[in-house]
Structure 1
Amino acid sequence: MIRACDNHGYFAGESCPECDAAGADVLGDDRRVRLSKFASGALRHFPDDAGLSPDGHGWVDYDALVDAVTRKYSWAEREHVDGVVATDPKGRFERRSSRIRAAYGHSIDVTLEPTESAVPSQLYHGTARRNIESIRETGLRPMGRQRVHLSTTREEARTVGRRHDDDPVVVVVDADAMVANGFGVDERGPETYTVDHVPPRYLSVESRPE
């Protein structure tokens, strides 16, 4: 559930994390998920279908996204979009004033500016078991997206991997060595980093939680 606190804005959960106020109901979980999936999909994969015109860095006019969402769902209002963007737990959206873009995950051709955040020493990638031999030979490649997506924790990587396999494999990435060797590893959300390609020499494989 997304709620709004008069003093601290939108939040997800039962009470405002700043002042513990109950706040006003904005959007239930089912509609939140539907709206989030459509908005992130429109920004990442099908802007033309949604009537959006991203620039070379993926930015679109925020009002245009609101219009696309309200055309898609008769129940949707601007505050619903505001709330979803403000509270997304994975940092899927990046909003600057009157513009918005997906922070990562694009299949459309965009160039995201590098970030200057410190990169963790290790990152993780969850995948189906059937992919492991190929990964051992050629490393991690984008496979339909612009960049390889890496998680900051084993648990998050395992969650991502379960989209493709009930018992996924976690691949450990030596991010320290990659950065030292000049690879661009960029933060794109609170639990997500991206890179063009991870060669096999930077990888090791886990199959079970530690």
Structure 2
Amino acid sequence: MKITFEMDNLQDLIEKSVSGNIEEAVKSQVEDTIKEQVAKLGGDIISEVVTKNFNEFVNDYITNTKITVRKEDFWGDADVNEYTVEEYIKKCLKERLDNERFRMMDKYDRYEEVTFDEYIKKYYETYVEKEIKKKMDSYFEDIRDQINRTMKETFDNTTKDMLSNTVLNILTQNNTYRQLENNIKSIATKQD
């Protein structure tokens, strides 16, 4: 049995096969990149349009939606008025500013009516006072730590210097040290 291969067109076949594969890979990569960009831009555009439409819807609701407010007096007679949401908010705000009082929830979850001055005093007594105390405590703690570090370093350095001088004085009083010192002097002064 004998098998014969003709290799005349082998180079052309390889080139066509490789160029076809490369072309498909590039085309696939380009399509994936385009899909990603379109999805990203589409998401951004959709988000922007939804936000804009939602803002317009809320603004339209506030300015055009009518609400009915019923206020009964002591005798049970009802005063019924119709307002837009915006008009009602402005009316309530004006009443509060003219009255200089508003309702706020206290620390026991009960409503109480207070003036603006009372509210500010309560706010500053609770929140601001606590914040100032916290900052001052932190500041003084940092200063105390810095003083302690400085005192320790100063004590350590002074003790080290004092002990070094004392040990040196004790050594210079010793006969062995004087003999070593004299030997070193005699070696240094000898000339050949």
**TM (normalized to structure 1)?**
0.17
**Greater length-normalized contact order (CA 8 Å, ≥ 6 residues apart):** 1
Q: Which has the higher helix share?
A: 2
Larger Rg: 2
Q: Which has the higher strand share?
A: 1
